[in-house]
Chain A
Amino acid sequence: MAYSEKVVDHYNNPRNVGSFTKDTPGVGTGLVGAPECGDVMKLQIKVNLETGVIEDAKFKTFGCGSAIASSSLATEWLKGRSVADAGKIKNTDIVNELKLPPVKIHCSVLAEDAIKAALADYREKYAAPAPAETNGAS
């Protein structure tokens, strides 16, 4: 099976690999997948708490080249979006952009799950009525 040029590019030059330190404010983290399934993605967003815009995103992925590319692309797309807009990224957008074959669609699904999980974690920490946390983050 040959890989698409974009998958190869993201694999060779992954965007935004890394992690935010634990005390970075405005961070939401999603950790999805399972080692026994051969795919685990950790995706983090760093939100400007004033504007609600995602200023930075980072990922780490255990998985095949397409899983790495899907999460790398997701971080690229997340940067500069509002939290509200971020949830609109669909796995089908990733499939189309990376030209993933049918056997790799689950990689894009996992990337969408990772985005949702990171957003949910962010909301739980900051957006939900949890005044103590918003105070702490200012």
Chain B
Amino acid sequence: MKQLFGYAGKVLRVNLTKKKILKQPLREDIIDKYVGCVGYAARVLWEELKPGIDPLGPGNKLIFATGPLTGTLCPGSGSHEICTKSPLTGAWAESRSGGFFGPKLKFAGFDFVILEGRAEKPVYLWVHDGEAEIRDAKELWGKTVHETTDVVLEEIGDPEASVACIGPAGEKLVRFATVMNDKDRAAARCGPGAVMGSKKIKAVVTNGIQGISVAHPEEFYEAVIEAEEALKKNMPNVHTIIPLGTIGLVNIYNSQGALPTKYGYTGYFENAEKFSGETLAKTFLVKRRACFGCSMGCGRYTEVKSGPWATPPHEGPEYETVVMLGSLCLHDNLEAIIRANYICNSYGLDTISAGNAIAFAMDCYDKGLLTTADTGGLELRWGDSATIINLVEKIAKREGVGDLLAEGVRRAAAKIGKGAEELALHVKGLEMPAHEPRGEAKSTALLYATSPRGACHMHPYWTGSWDFNQWTGGLIELGLPWPPPDKFAEAGVGKGLAVKLLMFHGVIQDITGVCRFPALGKEEDCITPKRYARMLSALTGREINQFELMKISERVLNLEKCFNVREGLTRKDDTIPKKMKEPIATGPTKGQAVTNLDGMLDEYYEACGWDKKTSIPTREKLEELGLKDVADELAGMAKTPKI
């Protein structure tokens, strides 16, 4: 096989049932059409997963994925993704994390690790220097993420290795359990930790010294410098993200009536300043943290030294975390939020879904849908720190009412009944994050409805960058409507086309294996598709331009969509929570509601070349993208007779 510049060149396939490890060459046919990382994983899972399988059964597969830019000098290259069928949504799942795991996996000689089957007893996988071994994890089972990381690093004798592991929440199959790496970095969304737990694999540990070959080093270096120079001009980063971290968004979002508060009733919280980035910087911040290859350093490292919520030094909390465990629960105690974040990280829980589930429970309690008879005597009062901490632990351990919430809000609401479904904030079963679509921008509502993984603000891309922030992302020459329309406008102003193009831009980061943040900004101050194409061409030696790269993104997004179609999802699943169609109660955006999602959906499907009635990609579109086999398979399925 010829040398593949930019790639380690190998796939590690581990059958946990048979305890069999295979080292396979990368498939060039997939590289050519999907580049790598999420694109490669999407193709593998499309080919190898049978539709309708139990995500927590041995038939599911879980892929640790990197891309060609992962581990290189490209800004934000400290990334990896975990792709699988989600136990939370039953749909396509991709879950990104930063830190050092992705680069170290490539340095160990592998671009991907595919986990199959189910181990008989708990194990962990040690991947190093082109080799891999399955090790006993009996003594690790039950340990927290932080404990596991320390024990494994001691056992393998390599303190520089990167540990990606699950905590007790993953072992207990909490449907929104994370895979944590480097202790406090999380592949959080969609429940990959539960899939690891179902396979009885506690950790994947990796390190190595293999380099990444660059086809044209000088050109690559120049392209990287161009990207870094652009990022230096990014004033939003300079003014907010670098000094404060993502938590610096709190005051801004509150000022815009876009801070999710009291579980969907408002976007404004008078006490928001108490858990803002400015307050954190003056109180519990120890230092900043950055992932591999990052010049931004959005991570925070915090500690609460004393008091009822004393917490040891660890990473976080992020913006998402303080909102979901803060204002969403009408809660303003930063010390308690930090403590809750620490527990989530230790047990391996997605802070977004956990906070959403807790606020949902409080809303149900407030309305009498849950009572102390259901909660074991626990009163679920809005804003109560002790209740929030208690519920985080109960969810992670699946104790009492925590067992109900560990199923995610969609399943919990169905079990509660009595109208609880109308309270739950999720799309496709994925809990809605900390971007209030009625207050931020109506494009966010369309994004939530159509993202292949459910209600997510970042996958495939944060569309609010366009109509909320008025950033181009370098997409004007690719057809992005400009200037953006009013952020509160819905159909008839080009939001369908814009969301499609912004999604394609995001998929570029997903398939090349890098962080989303450097791609957010204006033409002159972010990494545009053109800049990614330049770096990728020099790295791999395969000349590609921005238009071709966007076309590959379109192929990958269509394949993810078809994955969901094959699982039975249709247009009716492309929706938003009922509360988002009701007016915001207070604050600067009082009265705002999403009133015409269907209109925006029609425009999005039309822009994508998908059938408006079913939302399914047309055969014509799939064949144009080189996905004839996908169209054929869908056509052969009883569930998709319309194609």
Q: Are chains A and B native binding partners rather than an unrelated pairing?
A: no
Residues of chain A touching chain B, judged by Cβ–Cβ distance below 8 Å, are none
